[in-house]
Amino acid sequence: MAEYAIEMLNITKVFPGIIANDDITLTLKRGEIHALLGENGAGKSTLMSVLFGLYQPEKGVIKKDGVEVKINDPNDANDLGIGMVHQHFKLVECFTVLDNIIMGAEPADKMGFLHKAEARKKITELSERYGLGVDLDAKIEDITVGMQQRTEILKMLYRDNEILIFDEPTAVLTPQEIDELMQIMKNLSAEGKSILFISHKLNEIMAVSDRCTVLRKGKYIGTVNTSETTVEKLSAMMVGRDVNFHVEKDDKEAGDVVLDVEGISVASKTSKKMAVNDVSFKVHAGEIVCIAGIDGNGQTELVYGITGLEPLKHGKVILNGEDITKAPIRKRSAAGMAHIPEDRHKHGLVLDYPLDYNMVLQRYFEPEFTNKAGFLKKKNIRSYAEGLIEKFDVRSGQGGATIARSMSGGNQQKAIAAREMDRDTNLLVAVQPTRGLDVGAIEFIHKNLIAQRDEGKAVLLVSLELDEVMDVPDRILVMYEGEIVGEFDPKKVTQEELGLYMSGAKRDEVKS
């Protein structure tokens, strides 16, 4: 048998205005965990889409077990035993886990009747073997993102896939879920499955993978054994220069109160309890306050309440001395609030609008972009957008005319950050602003957040990443089950201490 399960040789894939993959070679050994590392827009997702049959390469050969194969669509890939978990899951929300797993490969007899019992047996065996506990009868909309991901993994295993592709699997997970996923991946490879996973989180790559292939701007940089390299070396390969992992910032005196949140509560969508319960805090000018916590402890709803996406049950929100508790979103925006939303696809972008239209999503009505008669000044919009693209290094195929949907996730995120940071506001609400970004882009966003602070803006940062929580803010508030349970100075607290508060093991009485 050939040594390699999959060989992708000299793959080239061109999109209008951009060479996404330029002569890239990647080999996957049987039973190994192989990481694919690269910045946003380096061509990782494109390469995996070629392997999964979503794109046809212009040049290059794909071999399975040493034999050349042609993969025209995902069905071909499936027949070859290649399965993929996409970054954005492909699940039917109102179906159960079991129905989602068997969908497309339903165990039906000749008459067309389903035999779910057989499927259930097979899936139960698989989930026990690989440690993938999940309630088969729960509906997708009711389970956590981590459980949804397990459903996707079971989908691949149910189809007897041998080669498993994971597209940024940890981007949406909590720290605990990430640890569990790493263990699952190790179990899978121990059972002979070959795993390819896309990531730009270096710690994960070091922890779990056997080898790592690095791409940069569509080009192949190299493949290394993870045991023989370091985080620093990998990041230098990926970015093309040395990256400063520590965020540089000077101390700054906090100024006047900009945002004053007084005892707010927000209803929960899923239960009768309040998602946010009587939360109070202040954010001052020239200060970054970080709301830390494990995902799902009310951070999302807190931000919705402050930014006006959801109504408040109780309490007041005061911005620059003005009560905006009941103000519509447009008024909050005018009163000085910028908002980098948590979900870039849901709230952050109109995906089918070109990039330049998206760059003025919060400002299109201003005299700079719309004349008195109500006509858009398209030239101004374009040139303003091009300026932001340049300043924030947003990479796109056709500049301002690029349709936002066609851009890589990281560049979409950079575009939103650029839009919100460039606005003339004195409060920036930034929710997971570095989610899904590579180290180079994270460094860039962090620098800009601090620059915003140094300009005298108040920054409210919501983060799930402990490194970010420790490095960026001037003050940390830990949120647990809808309440603020601790306030810390990042210089005086340890990650372990924070972890205790985040998991609910400890709590203080916090006064605003």
Enumerate binding residues for another protein (CB under 8 A): 56, 307, 309, 328-333, 339, 341, 346-353, 357, 361-362, 364-365, 370, 374-376, 378
Is the Cβ of residue 101 or residue 381 nearer to another protein in the bound state? 381
DSSP assignments along 456-482, one per residue? T-EEEEEE--HHHHHHS-SEEEEEETT
Alpha helices in 61-201 (DSSP H): 74-79, 97-102, 116-130, 145-158, 175-190
Is the Cβ of residue 218 or residue 348 nearer to another protein in the bound state? 348
Listed residue (479, 467, 510, 481) closest to 292, CA to CA? 479
Rounded to a whole number of angstroms, the minimum distance from the CB of residue 172 to another protein is 18
CA 488 to chain centre: 26
27 in Cβ contact with 75 (< 8 Å): no
Rounded to a whole number of angstroms, the minimum distance from the CB of residue 312 to another protein is 16
Rounded to a whole number of angstroms, the minimum distance from the CB of residue 349 to another protein is 6
Return d(Cα 273, Cα 482) in angstroms, integer.
9
Is the Cβ of residue 112 or residue 374 nearer to another protein in the bound state? 374
Is the Cβ of residue 254 or residue 394 nearer to another protein in the bound state? 394
Instruction: Look up tokens 């911005």; give the residue.
Output: 319
Rounded to a whole number of angstroms, the minimum distance from the CB of residue 416 to another protein is 10
232 token code pair: 């620093």
Label residue 403 exposed, middle or buried (CB < 10 Å: 0-12, 13-18, 19+).
middle
Whole-angstrom CA distances from 358 to 52, 107, 113 are 31, 45, 48
Listed residue (239, 218, 195) closest to 46, CA to CA? 218
Return d(Cα 55, Cα 77) in angstroms, integer.
12
490 in Cβ contact with 466 (< 8 Å): no
SS (H, E, C) 126-167: HHHHHCCCCCCCCEHHHCCHHHHHHHHHHHHHHCCCCEEEEE
The sheet carrying 274-284 orders its strands as 274-284, 257-267, 314-319, 322-323
The sheet carrying 483-488 orders its strands as 337-340, 427-431, 458-463, 287-292, 475-480, 483-488
Is the Cβ of residue 72 or residue 271 nearer to another protein in the bound state? 72
Rounded to a whole number of angstroms, the minimum distance from the CB of residue 70 to another protein is 12
Is the Cβ of residue 38 or residue 348 nearer to another protein in the bound state? 348
Rounded to a whole number of angstroms, the minimum distance from the CB of residue 380 to another protein is 13
User: CB count, 10 Å around CB of 269?
Assistant: 10
Rounded to a whole number of angstroms, the minimum distance from the CB of residue 354 to another protein is 11
Return d(Cα 512, Cα 493) in angstroms, integer.
19
Rounded to a whole number of angstroms, the minimum distance from the CB of residue 379 to another protein is 12
Rounded to a whole number of angstroms, the minimum distance from the CB of residue 98 to another protein is 29
Task: Tell how strand 287-292 and strand 458-463 pair up.
Answer: parallel
Is the Cβ of residue 263 or residue 328 nearer to another protein in the bound state? 328
Is the Cβ of residue 246 or residue 346 nearer to another protein in the bound state? 346
Rounded to a whole number of angstroms, the minimum distance from the CB of residue 308 to another protein is 8
Is the Cβ of residue 400 or residue 440 nearer to another protein in the bound state? 400
Is the sign of the CA dihedral 181, 182, 187, 192 positive or negative? positive
Return d(Cα 106, Cα 159) in angstroms, integer.
10
Phi–psi pair at 114, nearest 5 degrees: -80, 145
Is the Cβ of residue 161 or residue 358 nearer to another protein in the bound state? 358
Is the Cβ of residue 158 or residue 369 nearer to another protein in the bound state? 369
Rounded to a whole number of angstroms, the minimum distance from the CB of residue 44 to another protein is 21
